């Protein structure tokens, strides 16, 4: 399964995964990238438009579709975005720059195995960054997420935003 494409101007489409549900929808960017909205400590919910809800273990079943709705951010394990640039914060210098390198990682989060790359300055200690960054969600680029309960369910995206509070296992694939 592929993440949705970002198709409407000013909106970012994605797959929002909880432990039990897949919520497909769009977030209005309004000059605030989705990563910054997820990391905003003053907002408990994320507002979605064109929202479709399906159970993770049976993703072809549509539980409901709504013109708009709210998703509690702390229940999200990960967010799959088709374009890697959609996973950047407004101040993208933390993840993009001439001295930044991709480091391959493996993460188990909310029943998913996620493989991809964390893109940081080459001097950053990645395990320390994951343990200590104040951000709740961190981007993993050019990633895929495999549902462990049903390995045939795989989501791929240019960026997968991972909820640090739901990480069960984190490892570097190469040192």
pLDDT for 71 beyond 60: yes
CATH topology for the 85-172 domain: SH3 type barrels. (2.30.30)
pTM: 0.92
Determine the pLDDT at residue 62. Answer: 95
- Residues facing residue 49 across a β-bridge: 26, 68
Determine the pLDDT at residue 161. Answer: 98
pLDDT for 67 beyond 50: yes
Average pLDDT of every residue of the chain: 92
State percent of the chain over pLDDT 90.
85
* Residue among 174, 89, 104 at smallest CA distance from 144: 104
Q: pLDDT tens for residues 85-127?
A: 999 999 888 899 899 999 999 999 999 999 999 999 999 999 9
Residue with tokens 């895929």: 144
pLDDT, mean of residues 68-91: 96
Instruction: Provide the pLDDT confidence category of residue 175 given band limits of 50, 70 and 90.
Output: low
The architecture (CATH level 2) of 11-81 comes to Roll (2.30)
In the Cβ-directed half-sphere of 3, how many Cα atoms lie within 13 Å?
31
* Residue among 4, 49, 20 at smallest CA distance from 111: 20
Query: What is the domain partition of the chain in residue ranges?
Result: 11-81, 85-172
Q: In what order do the strands lie in the sheet with 11-17?
A: 64-72, 45-55, 21-28, 11-17, 78-81, 154-163, 137-147, 112-121, 100-109, 167-172
CA angle 43, 3, 55 (to 5 degrees): 75
Grouping H, G, I as helix, E, B as strand and the rest as coil, residue 36 is helix
Question: How far, in Å, CA of 3 to CA of 47, rounded?
Answer: 18
Determine the pLDDT at residue 4. Answer: 43
pLDDT for 6 beyond 70: no
Question: In a 10 Å sphere around its CB, with 0-12 CB exposed, 13-18 middle and 19+ buried, how is residue 164 labelled?
Answer: middle
pLDDT for 8 beyond 60: yes
* Residue among 35, 15, 27 at smallest CA distance from 114: 15
Q: pLDDT tens for residues 29-42?
A: 878 999 999 999 99
Letter string b/e over residues 50-84, b meaning 16 or more CB atoms within 10 A of that residue's CB = bbbbbebeebeeeeeeeeebebebebbbbbbbbbb
| Same CATH fold assignment for domains 11-81 and 85-172 | yes
């Amino acid at each position: 399964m592929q993440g949705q494409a970002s198709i409407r101007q000013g909106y970012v489409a994605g797959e929002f995964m909880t432990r039990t549900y897949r919520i497909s929808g769009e977030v209005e960017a309004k000059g605030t990238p989705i990563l910054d909205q997820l990391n905003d400590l003053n907002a408990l919910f994320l507002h979605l438009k064109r929202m479709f809800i399906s159970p993770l273990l049976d993703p072809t079943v549509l539980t409901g579709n709504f013109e708009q709705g709210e998703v509690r951010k702390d229940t999200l394990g990960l967010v799959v975005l088709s374009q890697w640039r959609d996973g950047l914060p407004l101040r993208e210098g933390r993840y993009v720059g001439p001295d930044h390198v991709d480091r391959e990682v493996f993460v188990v989060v909310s029943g998913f195995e996620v493989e991809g790359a964390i893109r940081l300055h080459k001097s950053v200690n990645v395990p320390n960054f994951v343990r200590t960054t104040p951000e709740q969600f961190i981007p993993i680029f050019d990633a895929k997420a495999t549902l462990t309960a049903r390995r045939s369910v795989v989501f791929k995206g240019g960026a997968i935003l991972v909820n640090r509070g739901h990480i069960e296992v984190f490892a570097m694939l190469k040192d």
